[in-house]
């Protein structure tokens, strides 16, 4: 089983991801992980913290001469803005954060929970995802994400291969597939920021090159759609997750939703085994199992809850009404969210790949991949 945990506080010394069950024999490209960490720090609307941090990953265990050993990997991302011991308690909980619920739950203060609940923690998740996507690449599986809506401005997607779409996205200040709309959206972010408010949006992730058969229908907690939904929903500020057509499927008839199955003998040699679909409303998953089509996951991010124009709150000591506290924050982090969700999805897909093809070594996984597809074509 491939899995990971994270540790660390927003203003503590470092963030750590502990990755367990990663196969031996993968040569790790550290600069590729660092590139994902830099993308997470970017996107229009980010706050002052990103000018302080220069995120990069250090492997503390699990590598020898840059190659995975099959033992647990410890990944560290240093916090340059490490000042936890100097920070004061927060007495006025911020609506939309865990401040109030966490302080009551743990019978303590707000600072003790907000430091761990902070989205700064996602740097460790991006590092783990950046590692996982290198395993996927060995099998020709690609992952990319982008912003499809921001502050109510619908940006949408576009057709193309993932390398083509990635190239377009990387020219956009907001990580969308429509850089021509950047000026409109950045002006909106500027205006809302001056008003002391924040913006949310919707991001989409696509995974290409998936084989038929990752995940399972057999048990509820092992279904890949369920695992993806949990992993994405657990990203800070995510309030909704869709796969494929998502909620729109509930508004249509079955004949307008389900994807017909065709067979193309010329495509029999690929991982889809020749089975094709004219549509992909299912988003690449049926009954918790990949069906050979691209995996499409969407996530809705609420506006950041820390506002320079604070909402009403209560002083926890006096119980008197006061405005909520303000901690340094972003106006809009939807672009960063697209990077986080992309890497979270990459890790879950890699975990499903390990479940299907074994996880002791990359060489064994490749042999099992080849055997599986040989047997599937001969059935």
Note the pLDDT of residue 49: 65
> What b/e string do you get for 52-74 counting C-beta neighbours within 10 Å, with b at 16 or more?
ebebebebeebbeeeebbbeebb
Burial of residue 370 (CB within 10 Å: 0-12, 13-18, 19+) is exposed
**What is the rounded CA–CA span in Å between residue 233 and residue 204?**
13
Backbone angles phi, psi at 295, to 5 degrees: -80, 130
Structural domain count, the chain: 1
pLDDT of residue 47: 72
Whether the Cβ atoms of residue 174 and residue 43 lie closer than 8 Å to each other: yes
Query: Starting at the edge strand that comes first in sequence, how are the strands of the sheet with 238-243 ordered?
Result: 153-154, 142-150, 201-208, 295-301, 238-243
The number of helix segments (H) and strand segments (E) in the chain equals 10, 18
Residue 328's pLDDT is what? 73
**Between 30-41 and 122-138, two packed helices, what is the crossing angle to 10 degrees?**
140
105-141 CB burial, b ≥16 within 10 A, e <16: eeeebbbebbbbbbbbbbbbbbbbbbbbbbbbbbbeb
Express each pLDDT in 366-375 by its tens digit.
Answer: 999 999 999 9
For the chain, what is the mean pLDDT? 95
3-class state of residue 172 by DSSP? coil
List all residues 6 or more positions away from 167 whose beta carbon is below 8 Å from its beta carbon.
Answer: none
Neighbours of 163 (CB within 10 A): 10
pLDDT at 82: 87
Cα 84 to the center of its chain, rounded Å:
26
Any alpha helices (H) in the chain, and if so which ranges?
A: 30-41, 49-52, 99-105, 111-117, 122-138, 162-169, 182-194, 224-233, 334-357, 362-377
Q: Which two tokens stand for residue 333?
A: 């982090």
> Hunting for tokens 């340094």 — which residue is that?
328
Per-residue pLDDT of the chain (379 residues; tens, 9 = 90+): 999 999 999 999 999 999 999 999 999 999 999 999 999 999 998 876 666 678 999 999 999 999 999 999 999 999 998 899 999 999 999 999 999 999 999 999 999 999 999 999 999 999 999 999 999 999 999 999 999 999 999 999 999 999 999 999 999 999 999 999 999 999 999 999 999 999 999 999 999 999 999 999 999 999 999 999 999 999 999 999 999 999 999 999 999 999 999 999 998 888 889 999 999 999 999 999 999 999 999 999 999 998 999 999 999 999 999 999 988 778 999 999 999 999 999 999 999 999 999 989 999 999 999 999 999 988 7
Q: What was the pLDDT predicted at 14?
A: 96
pLDDT tens for 170-224 read 999 999 999 999 999 999 999 999 999 999 999 999 999 999 999 999 999 999 9
Closest Cα partner for 224 from 372, 348, 365?
Answer: 348
Tokens of 314: 């209560």
Instruction: Pull the structure tokens for residue 327.
Output: 């901690």
Residues paired with residue 203 on neighbouring β-strands, in sequence order = 147, 299
Spatial separation of the C-alpha atoms in residues 357 and 370, rounded to whole Å: 10
What is the per-residue pLDDT for 271? Answer: 84
Structure tokens at 373: 């597809």
The whole-number pLDDT of residue 269 equals 85
User: According to the model, what pLDDT value does residue 200 have?
Assistant: 97
Beta strand pairing call for 238-243 and 289-291: unpaired
CATH number at residue 361: 3.60.150.10
Determine the structural domain holding residue 185 and report its residue range: 3-377
As a whole number of angstroms, the distance between CA 192 and CA 186 comes to 10
């Amino acid at each position: 089983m491939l899995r990971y945990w994270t540790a660390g506080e927003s203003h503590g010394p470092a963030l750590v991801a502990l990755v367990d069950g990663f196969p031996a024999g993968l040569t790790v490209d550290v600069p590729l992980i660092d590139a994902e960490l830099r993308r997470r720090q970017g996107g229009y609307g980010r706050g002052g913290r990103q000018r302080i941090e220069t995120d990069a990953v250090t492997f503390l265990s699990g590598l020898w001469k840059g190659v995975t050993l099959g033992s647990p990997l410890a990944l560290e991302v240093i916090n340059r803005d490490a000042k936890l011991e100097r920070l004061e308690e927060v007495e006025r909980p911020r609506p939309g954060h865990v401040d109030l619920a966490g302080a009551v739950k743990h019978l303590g203060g707000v600072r003790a929970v907000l430091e761990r609940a902070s989205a700064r923690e996602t740097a460790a998740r991006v590092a783990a995802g950046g590692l996982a996507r290198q395993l996927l690449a060995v099998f020709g599986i690609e992952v990319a994400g982008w912003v499809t809506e921001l502050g109510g401005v619908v940006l949408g997607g576009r057709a193309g291969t993932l390398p083509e779409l990635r190239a377009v996205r990387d020219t956009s200040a907001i990580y969308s597939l429509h850089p021509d709309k950047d000026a409109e959206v950045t002006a909106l972010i500027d205006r809302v920021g001056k008003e002391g408010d924040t913006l949310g949006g919707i991001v989409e992730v696509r995974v290409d090159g998936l084989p038929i058969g990752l995940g399972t229908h057999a048990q509820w907690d092992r279904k890949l759609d369920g695992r993806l939904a949990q992993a994405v929903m657990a990203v800070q500020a995510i309030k909704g997750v869709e796969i494929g057509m998502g909620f729109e499927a509930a508004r249509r008839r079955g004949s307008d939703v389900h994807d017909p199955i065709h067979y193309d003998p010329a495509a029999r040699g690929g991982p889809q085994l020749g089975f094709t679909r004219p549509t992909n409303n299912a988003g690449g998953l049926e009954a918790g199992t990949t069906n050979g089509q691209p995996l499409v996951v969407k996530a809705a991010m609420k506006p950041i809850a820390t506002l320079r124009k604070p909402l009403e709150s209560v002083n926890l000591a006096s119980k008197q009404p006061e405005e909520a506290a303000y901690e340094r924050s972003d106006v809009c982090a939807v672009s960063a969210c697209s990077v986080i969700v992309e890497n979270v999805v990459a890790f879950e897909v890699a975990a499903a790949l390990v479940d299907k093809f074994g996880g002791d070594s990359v060489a064994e996984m490749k042999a099992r991949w080849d055997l599986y597809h040989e047997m599937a074509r001969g059935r």
